Amino acid sequence: MSSIFSKIIQGEIPSYKIAETEDFYAFLDINPLAKGHTLCVPKKEVDYIFDLDDDTLSGLHLFSKRVAKALETCITCKRVGVLVIGTEVPHTHVHLIPFQHEAQMAITSLKLKVEKEEMEEIAKKVSDKFLEMN
Ligand code: 5GP
């Protein structure tokens, strides 16, 4: 059975898309720790990040860097933090979190309630910036 992230990549489930390449996809986390919290995923469905082949693993990090550069120009933050956990969704994903306070990097912290309109606004701003920078 396809993971929820494969369904998002295939457009079967909607997402606030940030960026897409042939091999990778980025979209806003539905329960963000900070505004602009983004997930970067390989289209190839592999549960555990360290089971990825070397090209996909390095490609995922380079893609995440490009997304982070777009995020940090659009969202006011101290810096973009990187987190990999993967216990909830068995499809490798890198969390990019534009944090203002270190506590926002804890996955157990309270999630923000961001309205649909604002999620759409953030996604448009960051995805436009990603296209402009790449
Ligand atoms: P992890 O597996 O790294 O613990 O966390 C999975 C992350 O995926 C969580 O931050 C959760 O909010 C996010 N997530 C789970 N289901 C969906 C979904 O359907 N759409 C989006 N955009 N994010 C999701």
Contact 72 CB / ligand 1 (< 6 Å): no
Residue 111 or 1, more confident: 111
| Sheet of 79-83, strand order | 17-20, 24-28, 38-42, 94-99, 79-83
* Ligand 1 atom nearest residue 37's Cα: 10
- In this model, does residue 1 exceed pLDDT 80? no
Query: How much is the pLDDT for 110?
Result: 87
Report the topology of domain 4-132: HIT family, subunit A (3.30.428)
Contact 41 CB / ligand 1 (< 6 Å): no
The model's pLDDT over 19-65, given as tens digits with 9 standing for 90+, comes to: 999 999 999 999 999 999 999 999 999 999 999 999 999 999 999 99
**Ligand 1 center–CA 88 separation, angstroms:** 7
The model's pLDDT over 56-110, given as tens digits with 9 standing for 90+, comes to: 999 999 999 999 999 999 999 999 999 999 999 999 999 999 999 999 999 998 8
Among residues 89, 88, 71, the alpha carbon closest in space to that of 80 is found at 71
Query: How much is the pLDDT for 131?
Result: 97
Neighbours of 37 (CB within 10 A): 26
Catalytic residue, from 37, 61, 91, 93: name it. 93
CA distance 28 to 40: 9
Active-site residue 61, yes or no?
A: no
Classify 10 as helix, strand or coil. Answer: coil
CB 123 within 8 A of CB 16: yes
Contact 49 CB / ligand 1 (< 6 Å): no
Q: How many residues are listed for the chain in this entry?
A: 134
